[in-house]
Amino acid sequence: MEQAVPGGTGRARRLPRVRGFAAWPADGSPKDEGKALRKQVPRRAHATLDLDGSRPDAVTAVQESNRGRLPDLTPMRVGRMAATPFAFLRGAAGLMAYDLARTPMTRILAQICGDAHAANFGLYGDARGGLVIDLNDFDETVRAPWEWDLKRLATSLVLAGREAGADEDTCREAAHDAAGSYRRTMRLLAGLPALDAWNAIADEELVSHTDAHDLLGTLERVSEKARHNTSGRFAAKSTEASEDGGRRFVDAPPVLRRVPDAEAAAVAESLEEYLTTLPEDRLPLMARHAVQDVAFRVVGTGSVGTRSYVVLLLDHRGEPLVLQVKEARPSALLPHLVTAGFETPPAGHEGRRVVLGQKRMQVVSDVLLGWTTVDGRPYQVRQFRNRKGSVDPTALAADQLDDYARMTGALLARAHSHSADPRLVAGYCGKSEELDEAIAAFAVACADRTEADHAELVAAVREGRIAAELGV
């Protein structure tokens, strides 16, 4: 197919259609297509949470999600999930995906985080030493309906608010305003030139864009702490001098432990494959570092029990760079996407899925992101402690919770707009608050269900039906 473009003589020049580029003039109106979709899936339908009789109980869901993890660490994972309903939600992405797969869906696909709860947004360092705020956990990333992320974010805000002691109106308002911020941001992006939209809402503009001024003090404190959260600081606390003049990790159970020589060697050797996944311009940087030691380090809540290593590298001055080599399991959303009737092509390498999903969603990503394989298992590789910091949503005051909700809603819209046409999503979301109200109603119902699931898990721990290590 050929397309007409202006020629130097004033007439249209006929050029071949180039694969990977849009047609010109544009075909149809994505905005109108989104608006028409409301007839098939009314926006008010997103309030629906129908729990069918085949839904697994909380204990069964947790036990199933523990499958394939290191058995000696699963009690720690259960203990962390049993701490609070918000902590339970953090570890139960698969159970919530079960419910989402049975809700009304627009079927507009985006690269989604898959685990976009309120604690999975945070600060991290860019290549020039600045701080960026964005989504920062992509273990479950996959192409799926955009509203799955938004509903998980809204639900987590209700639970975080309840844990912080906020009243029910405040919690519901946070969910409502997260959805409203998402909708308004998507409308903003839909109206911009494509290149401007891609890089829109710089971090320095985020507070003003989302009217999150009450959050400024908290963000400044988190930023100051993040600037000191570096490989050097971690190495100073977690390593000691070795006999050859280098450094080695020191056991700090139960979180950090040294590993046998053969295990350490397998991880170190896997870095050769990792280097092949980096852009070529990063290789001279990596070549100026030498591998010193490898240790096992427990991470997160949902990730506890997966295999995760830290690798210590030193440059010619003895300055440390720490990499995290973290097992990449299949997304917990995958079987539920199949249930919902979506095609799910094989990921190939799960570490590659995580890394590419992260790059598709973030404006700025870790310059050392890559993947590798250790003993036949896929891993993602990234910098460890590259000035990372996060807001604890369960510790926010009521006025700050609402600010944080608007900020994370805007960040989520920006992330989704890189893979889903913002004109299409904005056309569906519209100008009214109908979607906001529906998402808020869903979030309250889902939070109630999560609290019940958490209570079931706590009862099972108390009765000895499932092992848990509490307080670790």
**pLDDT (tens digit, 9 = 90+) per residue, 105-149?**
999 999 999 999 999 999 998 888 888 999 999 999 999 999 999
Domain assignment present for 378: no
- Measure the CA–CA gap between 154 and 50, rounded to whole angstroms: 17
**pLDDT (tens digit, 9 = 90+) per residue, 278-318?**
999 999 999 999 999 999 999 888 899 999 999 999 999 99
Domain assignment present for 77: yes
pLDDT beyond 90 at 61: yes
What percent of the chain has a predicted confidence (pLDDT) above 70?
98
Q: Which domain holds residue 433?
A: 34-224+334-343+389-462
Angle of helix 58-65 versus helix 434-462 axis, rounded to 10: 80
pLDDT beyond 80 at 3: no
Least confident of 200-209, 316-325, 387-396: 200-209
Residue 25, preceding peptide bond in cis (omega within 30° of 0): yes
Q: Classify residue 140 by its DSSP letter.
A: T
- Measure the CA–CA gap between 148 and 171, rounded to whole angstroms: 19
Q: Which residues of 118-136 are buried (b: 16+ CB within 10 A; e: fewer)?
A: bbbbbbbbbeeeebbbbbb
Residues in the chain: 472
- Measure the CA–CA gap between 161 and 402, rounded to whole angstroms: 9
What is the pLDDT at residue 201? 86
Number of domains into which the chain is organized:
1
What pTM value is reported for the model? 0.95
Domain assignment present for 128: yes
The average pLDDT across 142-166 equals 98
- Measure the CA–CA gap between 416 and 186, rounded to whole angstroms: 9
What is the pLDDT at residue 127? 82
The average pLDDT across 203-226 equals 92
Strand partners, 374: 377
What is the pLDDT at residue 199? 85
What is the pLDDT at residue 9? 57
Here the tokens at position 247 are 């450094």
Backbone angles phi, psi at 121, to 5 degrees: -115, 145
Contacts of 463 by beta carbon, 8 Å cutoff, 6+ apart: none
What is the pLDDT at residue 300? 84
- Measure the CA–CA gap between 307 and 128, rounded to whole angstroms: 31
Neighbouring C-beta atoms of residue 168, cutoff 10 Å: 12
Rg (CA), the chain: 23
Domain assignment present for 190: yes
Neighbouring C-beta atoms of residue 240, cutoff 10 Å: 9
**pLDDT (tens digit, 9 = 90+) per residue, 71-82?**
999 999 999 999
What is the pLDDT at residue 129? 80
Residue 327: its H or E element: strand 320-327
Here the tokens at position 178 are 């997260």
Domain assignment present for 238: no
Domain assignment present for 23: no
- Measure the CA–CA gap between 184 and 422, rounded to whole angstroms: 11
Domain assignment present for 471: no
Q: Which of 177, 184, 207 is nearest to 398 (CA)?
A: 177
Least confident of 85-89, 226-230, 320-324, 327-331: 226-230
Domain assignment present for 152: yes
**pLDDT (tens digit, 9 = 90+) per residue, 255-281?**
999 999 999 999 999 999 999 999 999
What is the pLDDT at residue 467? 97
pLDDT beyond 80 at 2: no
Q: How many Å separate Cα 388 from the centre of its chain?
A: 14
Q: Give the CA-trace dihedral at 378, 256, 81, 56, to 10 degrees.
A: 30
pLDDT beyond 60 at 1: no
Q: Classify residue 331 by its DSSP letter.
A: P
